[in-house]
Structure 1
């Protein structure tokens, strides 16, 4: 019995730990989003967007960062189904960390499980309503679900924060309206 308890404790270190609050990057995120609105080139916007990603992936602690990095590596390696398990652990450990939900949503999206992706994107946006990537991901997910009118509304919200998003090419404008 003692051996089983020891094995359980070693196998699940996050269960015994408590996730600290996620870093508050609202002010920095706001500055970057403001700068995106005045960016003059795609290169300038790309550099600013990298800054947003640094903020979003700034995990609450080393345990959360390891889970996030492992899941993202699996996504980059083309293994989204396995990545979901890493993000499940991250979300269970840090339920107030938006990026855990956003990355799990991306893993679901890659598997074409749009309904599950939408749930996680809504969770990420409840935590960080100005998470541009989650907004654009939600627009794409809604398109995947055939909910194009809603997708356009969400896409416009994402573009209001970052007019340089590649997804702007998916924006449908009514006839006679120029953007």
Structure 2
């Protein structure tokens, strides 16, 4: 881990000149896992499948991208959100077609309550990987955090259609203000 962090720090300090290889095609693996999660009977089973989904999403195109991703995620976990965003910026600059770079930068911005910055990254992650359940549910949570409850709930329903076990389902019980096209409960 320390080697990866040092490698990533070196990359963040110097421009990356090599081109990022194509993002691995994980469509088949993700589709199979999403199909499996539809038929499990317990939340524990669903969590195991979610961990496998994360393993697919966080498999970067090469060692350079992986080091940047790992560094950003370690910084985010330590609540060094500025450092995390910088690492994800470098990852996105290097691999602009890798959805997880955008998803992780959005998550760091979400944690910093920079919802307006998170939303375009979530949209880009979803455009690159339309079945990225975490990005979809993250978009729903971001919209809710912005006060756009009805819209956020609709997006969470999209994520739940892919994985009915998501903990974000609890946000469907939030009251929706009348000016949001819903009925306040």
Question: Is the pair's TM-score, using the shorter chain for normalization, greater than 0.5?
Answer: yes
- Aligned CA RMSD, in angstroms, stands at 1.7
Does residue 12 in structure 1 map to residue 50 in structure 2? no
Q: Which residue of 2 aligns with 1:156?
A: 157
Matches within 5 A, 1:17-166: 17-166=18-167
1:5-44, Cα deviation, whole Å (9 max, x unpaired) = xxxx995252x10000110000110000011111111111
Q: Are the counterparts in 1 of residues 102 and 125 from structure 2 also a CA contact under 8 Å?
A: yes
Task: Tell me the residue number matched to 2:6.
Answer: none
Distance change (3 Å), C-alpha of 1:173 and 1:109: closer
Structure 1 residues 151 and 133, CA, compared in 2 at 3 Å: closer, same or farther?
A: same
TM-score by length of 1: 0.89
CA distance in 2, matches of 1:109, 1:13: 26
Structure 2 residue ranges without an equivalent (≥5)? 1-10, 176-185
Flag the 1:173–1:112 CA change in 2: closer, same or farther, 3 A. Answer: closer
Q: Distance in 2 between matches of 1:52 and 1:140?
A: 19
Tell me what 1:5 maps to.
none
- 1:37-79: CA deviations, max 9, x gaps? 1111111101100110000000000000000000000011111
Partner Cα separation in structure 1 for residue 116 and residue 24 of structure 2: 29
* Runs of 4+ off more than 4 Å: none
Q: Number of aligned residue pairs: give it.
A: 165
Which whole-Å deviations, capped at 9, do the CAs of 1:111-169 have from their partners, x for residues lacking one?
Answer: 10001100100000000011000011000000111111110110000000111111111
Bigger radius of gyration, 1 or 2? 1
- Could you tell me how far apart the structure 1 residues matched to 2:13 and 2:110 are? 29
Q: Which runs of 5+ in 1 are unaligned?
A: 1-8, 175-179
